[in-house]
Structure 1
Amino acid sequence: MHLILKASGEGAGNVSHLLSKNPNNVYDRTDKGVRVRMVYTTATERETEVLMHAEPDPVDLVRGTPDGYDITQYINDREFVTSSLFCSYIRSALGTALNGKPKEAYVQWVGHPFDMELTFGPVASDLPDRAIEELFSPLGYAVTLEREELAYTFDLKKKSTVRRIILRGQVTVQNALRQLFLLIPVLDNYKHYFISEDEIDKIKRYGEGWLDSHPLKEMIIKRTLRFAELIRQYERQEGVLSAPVEAMNAGDEDMSAYEKGDGPDVPSLQEEPPVRLNELRYRAITDVVAGLTLKRRIVDMGAGEGKLSARLAYIPGVESILAVEPSGQSRLRAMERFARLEGRSGIAAMPEPVIGSLFYFDEQMKHQDVMILCEVIEHIEAYRLDGIMDTIMNEYQPGVLLVTTPNKEYNEVYEMEQESLRHHDHRFEWTRAELVAQCETWTKQGEYSFEISGIGEHAEGFGHPTQLVIFRKERRDQHEG
């Protein structure tokens, strides 16, 4: 994770004084397992270039965290990407520049705009290229995005979400750093610390002079504060009376930015916030299950934090719900959610959290009335799905199998980049025709029929954002005689 700041033109040699770091000395500090270095690669009267690099200890990143027992803690990008972690690592080294308080002889240069080039990355962002450009171009920057070439041995993603960002424009050192310290976490959409009222003060401090006029201010505020109450508190302090806030709560991490209403062309604060696509999926699935004749035993495969399982618990006639999930952290959250169902009226069956995966056969999954894969298959490499579906249809043999998955064609309605995926963990997304072809292949050897419908707002020529497949096990006597 790094940031390169290059200033050119009159007085550029004074940048080292604004940063309060001597060009002749290498700044090299290690604190709490993180090594931070600042090195000047150029230091003349008309040009200064400084590299800021942070190198954390990957073990320290996860030590003492709630998911410390989960092996997936080591399979992440936090050690490498430029995120809120990076900003916190280098903040103490840049305190003088951020506060605009160099030695008195150089105060005059605090408000001086230099010809600036800022290069930082890699950045892992769920935002498309166009949205990133719209974050920085209103600030006067020309934006360049670079990607590394992908060299997978089999088909995964066509386009990486990881990018290196280069900004060029006339800006003061203080404003450049303040803008980056606020917008880098917005790009990464991740905060490694508890988000409190202090975050509001940070927005005001770093956003002074530019945030109020930014066309994407609402999105910046939402992705920075995340929680509805903090957003409302910010607005009260700013004297803004807004409509109801649809916040981005921590439990929504498996949803794409677009499904959360977070895309650049989707206002985050609306007079009547639209119902989220995730909510529409849950409604559609529960409606189908409620209308089934046989629904006593249900398997929610890939149940995550148990949101869907908790809704299925209210359906009359349901007697058991297996909420199957491989992630230990998600199961803990599901258990907390299920515990809150205790004693509530209308509960037909309490969901049971189960450790499991589609990659491992589990005898207790056999012959259930309903099996549900809600937004699951797209997180699996496509070449493995034939084997998984064979196991489900010929070994588990549920009476009804419900599968939801994104409709790739609808990404154009979201104005996403070509071949971009809605979530960083998606391995593929299929068009309507591709899904039909897959379903025909899966049911060719089995005893299932299928029908496909859409979930979410329909767009002419593109269909619905989510595809719902209902596989029904056919009775043997239908094939006899």
Structure 2
Amino acid sequence: MTIGTTSAGLGAPATDLGFLLHKNPARPQSLEVAGGTAHVFYPEATDERCTVAVLLEVDPIALVRSGRGRSGEGFTLGQYVNDRPYAASSLLAVAVGKLFRTAMLGRCDARPELAARSIELEIRVPALPCRGGAAMAERLFGPLGWSVDARPVPLDPSIPEWGDSRYVDLRLTGSVRLADALHHLYVLLPVLDDAKHYWVGSDEVDKLVRAGEGWLGTHPDRELISRRYLAHRKRLTDSALEALDRLVEADGTEAAADESDAEVGDDSVAASDAEKPVSLAVQRRTAVVELLREIGARKVADLGCGEGVLVAQLLKDSSFTEVVAADVSSRALTYAERRLHVDEMSDRKRERLRLFQSSVTYADARLTGLDAAVLMEVIEHVDPPRLPALAQAVFGAAQPGSVVVTTPNSEHNVRFETLPAGAFRHPDHRFEWTRSEFQEWAAGVCRTYGYEVSFRPVGPDDPEVGPPTQLALFRRVDASRRTDSDLKEAI
């Protein structure tokens, strides 16, 4: 397999592709993988054009001895004499995953701006087993933004009447982020082959969901892809589709309100006219942390932690003895780990942190026993029909002692000159509540789950339209304090 680009397509010297892949064009590398050896080298590497090649040498006998060879091919010799040494398959996908692991995470400290954006790429896989033919390759890669040229390989060029083989010469061109392109290949190479060389278990569901984040959940053939990737095991396929549904429903719902992805107004609100301007995002985090200190919370969760900005602030305060960072996006959690420098943390600080993937619309036993949970700029990213599920998961199942919720005050939007009338502050917002709408929702939560609520402004409290951000503090009421009418209404 080859991956190439040009200086024009990269917007930089073409050899910067080596930085993105973390592979030096001047130094070929080899890596032992299951059943063989994978080599990485550069057939061409100039400022104008650069191409990296992956060559996988497969030993079919080693595959059989390791228990990874295919045994159901109709005759014993088929385990040893097959297309594995000559054609792209799940073996090549595994090699790509190991060779370019860091690149697949979207990390490149030397060229971070290139890793973060789409670049022009040309990919060729000259011998790809493709069950369904060239049309299947177009069907799977086309919706991902690739221009697909899949040419059937004839069984024998000298005897055209024999027709085509099951292999295609695949060429992909398009403007795609490199990490995304590698994930597309990692998933779809074995899907097109439709035959894995190793046992498929439940851990493969997690691999598929991680590799498919951001694209597989909305792919028109996601069921076909999941079924083939998971070796047609129905239970695993159902689990994968359910997990993908959760990601699609969230669709970034739990992204942190960081300055890098701020909503309108986050960078334009001053603490006061006499002071140096402080962004609304900073004021919001400060208000949340001060409130958590005020109520004496020790075990705290940031639900929808995004890239971990609030989590970093919580970890700086030793009064928070346990900090949970949870988000539905595995990519966001990867960025959070980098921002927090988890691999460089002291043992004492690392013991205070729990970081894991979770959705605010599904009950999670790992979130029980908390003093406080924070939903900072999260609920407005959830589709309104899913809000009862959020309330049940957080207030009904997790039941923290306190819950802090912040959300935009839509009445204040008229104060933002750059925001068109009727528009939301962020394109991913599903709604934005007025103060009365937020209070009505909060009152319903309290009646149902046994909490009491108070409200505070965040940012300048405009006498006409209120503050830009509204904050609610929910505190759980002991069962002994709840009246019979409260309990009956909750039931």
Normalising by structure 2, we get a TM-score of: 0.46
Per chain length, whose mean CA-contact separation is higher, i.e. which structure has more relative contact order (CA < 8 Å, sep 6+)?
1
Structure in which a larger fraction of residues adopt helix: 2
